[in-house]
Structure 1
Amino acid sequence: MQPRELGRYLAWQQQDQPALRQRIAALARKNIGQPYELFLLGEFPYETYDAQPLFDLSKSDCVVFVEHTYAMALSASWEEFFWMLQRIRYRDGVIGTATRNHYTEADWNVANRWLVQDVTATLGAPTQPYHQRIDRQAFLLKQFKIRRDIPVQNFDDVYVAKQDVAAVEAQLQDGDFVNVISSRGGESWASHVGLIVTSADGSRRLLHSAEPQVREETLQGFIARMAERDARQAGQNKAQLAGFKFLRLNEAPEVPPMAPQPRPGRS
């Protein structure tokens, strides 16, 4: 679908699916089968640190899929979609590699509280604590050769262990945001993301972009598939599925304004 076609389609979707949750589910399902490609987007042509484009309608990775779906569901034109995508993807909507929400828990979830709220600890299941030491300064220098003076952040969070998810599935709703938590060597982090959709029989399903393409599967099916993968990789020092974080889509998201796009500095 080309940008102009997408704009017309989004305007129609606003009328065809007036409820936000159902609109998110419909848009997400329309992209089932979309090819997966990791590290898909960057900031080109605004910046060249990451020369990938600012959008791609033909492919996705897990984060791109979620961001595009939310932005489409909140928009009624191409122009609004593109604006919304940047508002979701960047801190205060300021386009830049350094202001992109790189860290799922500490950046994306926090910056987009206007859109989703973390309900992991309120679902009634036991939660598992984990800690992250986030060094954005080192990350930006290593990955993009960007020098920024950013203090290290110590970030504490919780997740629901994979074996406890079945007890809370019924509380999940269309459009909720899922963080898949992996662990290795005593460290845990969000390694994957997706969206909750409800099937005709009422079961909760995970709709997400992963190799080789966007797919929809039950949460328990995903857990079983990851268990098989982890069994095959036992002893290889690879990350294993630990559990999930769940973020509730706000009923009526109030989109904050963009911060001004600063004039680029000179070296």
Structure 2
Amino acid sequence: MKTFLLFAALATAALAASPAPSPDLAALQAKPLYQFNESEVGTYLSHLQLTEPELRARIIHLARKNLKQPYELYLLGEAPFETYDPQPLYSLTKSDCLVFTEHTYAMALSRDWSGFMRLLQRIRYREGRIGVVTRNHFTETDWNPSNRWLVRDITTEIGGDKMRRFDQKIDRSKFLLGRYKLTTPIPVELHRETYVPYADVDLAKAHLTDGDCIEIVRGIVKPGMPDNEIFGGSAWIGHVGLAARGPAGELHLIHSIAPEVREETIEQFIARETAHNAEKDAAGKPRLLGFKFLRLEADPLAKLRQLDGLDAPRVTLPSGAVLP
């Protein structure tokens, strides 16, 4: 127990401390972000804040600097503060779709290592309270509302009469018991969500720009039903990435998907995702239904200060201690 407490104390210090003196910037500019160590990340973020004043440009710069980062699912947990999920609080070398998106946003909003770590935990956890129970497990009902200071849902504005709705039953207690053997008395939540069918993605092209968030809705479709009709209301957000504009202004998606982070046009993504729809439907497997679109706020940190106060981002450890 003493060893664990010491480890936790050291990790707390790491969250709050700035990295060691900087390495050579020219060397950092020449190598991919996923090969950086913690000190190099801090140095590069400080440099980027000085040289690129636009938040959206910083987001896309960092996202593209992480192209080809290896993919691995279920990377992060709460170690060393909790042991239910022994994975660490961050990952620089690998990502899954959510880890990539969260890390990119947190880095783009930060000017040093300490700021990045704080913002990352504020994005990952409800009200920045570190813990497996307070982690934003469900994108629709946890991540999106918790990060309303960062992004705003514009799916309804874009979709108009093409928009589709689906209902969900969110049972957090069942999820936490099944995955982490945790008994938690959390009421079941009934939730209604919206998405734009992938066939109508052109509706979004004039609205989205660099740094906006694209969420991919997947579900199970019964063979013989019209395209995009959901069997049994079974649909969910199953993937996430960042919107970017290509050289000719076309809409791109930058996202982490096996085997590595890639950038592709939205049409390329749809073609790949829908290439085997008939086989997926026959096997009862989920497939692409459509998209949700979230607009990056103009000044997320100002929005966050409205929620957390002047000491934003507010991050709380499982012990209840607030990081100074």
The equivalent of 1:115 in structure 2 is 150
What TM-score, normalized to structure 1?
0.96
The equivalent of 2:206 in structure 1 is 170
Residue type of the alignment partner of 1:110: P
Contact 1:91 1:101 (8 Å CA) reproduced? yes
CA distances 1:173-208 after superposition (whole Å, capped 9, x unpaired) = 111111100011431100000000111210110000
The equivalent of 2:22 in structure 1 is none
| Match 1:45 to one of 39, 57, 80 | 80
Contact 1:170 1:203 (8 Å CA) reproduced? no
The equivalent of 1:263 in structure 2 is 319
Equivalent residue pairs, number: 264
Map 1:148-163 to 2 at 5 A: 148-163=184-199
Q: Equivalents in 1 of 2:191, 2:319: separation in Å?
A: 31
The equivalent of 1:142 in structure 2 is 178
| Match 2:285 to one of 194, 215, 238 | 238
**What's the CA shift for 1:168?**
2.1
Q: Equivalents in 1 of 2:278, 2:254: separation in Å?
A: 24
| Match 1:181 to one of 205, 217, 238 | 217
Contact 2:81 2:317 (8 Å CA) reproduced? no
Contact 1:36 1:59 (8 Å CA) reproduced? yes
Map 1:188-227 to 2 at 5 A: 188-227=235-274
Contact 1:166 1:220 (8 Å CA) reproduced? no
Q: Equivalents in 2 of 1:173, 1:161: separation in Å?
A: 19
The equivalent of 1:69 in structure 2 is 104
Q: Equivalents in 1 of 2:278, 2:258: separation in Å?
A: 19
Contact 2:77 2:89 (8 Å CA) reproduced? yes
Q: Equivalents in 2 of 1:152, 1:95: separation in Å?
A: 22
The equivalent of 2:132 in structure 1 is 97
| Match 2:53 to one of 6, 15, 18 | 18
**What's the CA shift for 1:17?**
1.6
SS of residue matched to 1:196: strand
Q: Rate the CA distance shift 1:131–1:140 in 2: closer, same or farther, 3 A.
A: same
CA distances 1:148-172 after superposition (whole Å, capped 9, x unpaired) = 1110000111000000011321210
Q: Equivalents in 2 of 1:98, 1:234: separation in Å?
A: 34
Structure 1, gaps ≥5 residues long: none
Contact 2:208 2:243 (8 Å CA) reproduced? yes
The answer to which of 22-31 and 121-130 deviates more is 121-130
CA distances 1:33-62 after superposition (whole Å, capped 9, x unpaired) = 000000011111111100111111000000
Contact 1:196 1:206 (8 Å CA) reproduced? yes
What TM-score, normalized to structure 2?
0.79
**What's the CA shift for 1:262?**
4.8
Q: Equivalents in 2 of 1:181, 1:242: separation in Å?
A: 6
Contact 2:215 2:241 (8 Å CA) reproduced? yes
**What's the CA shift for 1:230?**
2.4
Considering only CA atoms, is the larger Rg found in Structure 1 or Structure 2?
2
The equivalent of 1:80 in structure 2 is 115
Q: Equivalents in 2 of 1:31, 1:229: separation in Å?
A: 29
**What's the CA shift for 1:243?**
0.1
Contact 1:176 1:246 (8 Å CA) reproduced? yes
The equivalent of 2:19 in structure 1 is none
The answer to which of 110-119 and 122-131 deviates more is 122-131
Q: Equivalents in 2 of 1:119, 1:62: separation in Å?
A: 21
The equivalent of 2:70 in structure 1 is 35
Contact 2:256 2:262 (8 Å CA) reproduced? yes
**Percent identical across equivalent pairs?**
49
Contact 2:118 2:315 (8 Å CA) reproduced? no
Larger strand proportion of the pair = 1
Alignment RMSD: 1.2
The answer to which of 29-38 and 124-133 deviates more is 124-133
Q: Equivalents in 2 of 1:99, 1:248: separation in Å?
A: 24
Q: Rate the CA distance shift 1:213–1:27 in 2: closer, same or farther, 3 A.
A: same
Structure 2, gaps ≥5 residues long: 1-35, 221-230
Residue type of the alignment partner of 1:263: S
Larger helix proportion of the pair = 2
